[in-house]
Amino acid sequence: MRKGFVYIMSNKYRTTFYIGVTSAIKRRVLEHKTGKGSAAFTSRYNLFDLVHYEIIEGMAECIAREKQLKNWHRDWKINLIKENNPEMIDIAADWYVTIDNQLVIAYGLNRKV
């Protein structure tokens, strides 16, 4: 069964959240951070920080979890994020490096996801 990721992006003030699903978390977060792909909402609201993600077996289960989280109250989402990320920092900050003025995935330089 193929693993997937449910993730939450936020702005630097943690006032807005975006919940998404992907099979490649590093690639998808990079798309959000660089405004590529279908990242219009995250670009409009400057949601460039990954504050939470979950690894889930099966894409159908990922989509179900995404729908569940999207229906949660804001406080519930914040509590979920703070369970594993109490400071609500950008947990993907060290996943990328800038090469020739482009943000790219830093393969082999950090932990595997």
pLDDT digits (tens, 9 = 90+) for 88-102: 999 999 999 999 998
CATH domain 3-105 topology: GIY-YIG endonuclease (3.40.1440)
Q: What residue spans define the domains of the chain?
A: 3-105
Give the model's pLDDT for residue 90.
Answer: 98
**b vs e for 13-47, b when ≥16 Cβ sit within 10 Å of the residue's Cβ?**
eeeebbbbbbeebbebbbbbbeeeeebeebeeeeb
Nearest to 18 by CA among 9, 29, 6: 9
Q: Positive or negative, the Cα torsion across 33, 39, 45, 47?
A: negative
List the chain residues with pLDDT less than 70: 37-38, 108-113
**Cβ neighbour number for residue 63 with a 10 Å cutoff:** 14
